[in-house]
Amino acid sequence: MPQPSTTDRIHRLVPSPAGRTHLVEQGTGPLVLLVHGFPESWYSWRHQLPALAAAGYRAVAVDVRGYGRSSRPEAPTAYRILELVEDNVAVVKALGEESAIVVGHDWGANIAAVSALVRPDVFRAVGLLSVPYAPRGGPRPSEIFAQMGGDEEFY
């Protein structure tokens, strides 16, 4: 199967609660929303966009609020996790979709996890890369890892 080229990418600005979200999309099919980590941008997903497109997905990498060409609200409260979740929901809706698979890397993994947790009506599947999920009020990942391997297996 031939790989789509990088010239098949489409850059768009879509409305979101923060003002606007910059995204890059490639491919057609079920929507996969890619959320970058800190301090990155949509560009960190540049290799996954054509691979997902070739696999039959509509791959969309966003610039999270405050990064790249997306809006940069001044108020610190504008960067609360639920605000970032609503940006993800707005992207899905602006693209004319009802649901998406959400994938996050690093800090984006936390955003993706909470998106799927609080909006299961929109995010039907989630992929988390490089950061363990830690539910609020639950044990810390370091405590879980220490229990799995004991004192000699965990630093």
Write out pLDDT tens, residues 109-126. 999 999 999 999 999 999
Is 87 inside a domain boundary? yes
Residue 150's pLDDT is what? 62
Is 1 inside a domain boundary? no
Q: Taking 60 as the threshold, does the pLDDT of residue 155 lie above it?
A: no
Residue with tokens 């809006």: 71
Is 155 inside a domain boundary? no
Q: 129: domain CATH number?
A: 3.40.50.1820
Is 73 inside a domain boundary? yes
Number of domains in the chain: 1
Is 72 inside a domain boundary? yes
Range of the domain at 72: 6-149
Give the pLDDT confidence of 56-91 residue by residue, as tens digits.
Answer: 999 999 999 999 999 999 999 999 999 999 999 999
Tell me the average pLDDT of the chain. Answer: 91
- DSSP codes of every residue in 38-97: TT--GGGGTTHHHHHHHTT-EEEEE--TTSTTS---SSGGGGSHHHHHHHHHHHHHHTT-
Is the distance from CB of 40 to CB of 106 less than 8 angstroms? Answer: yes
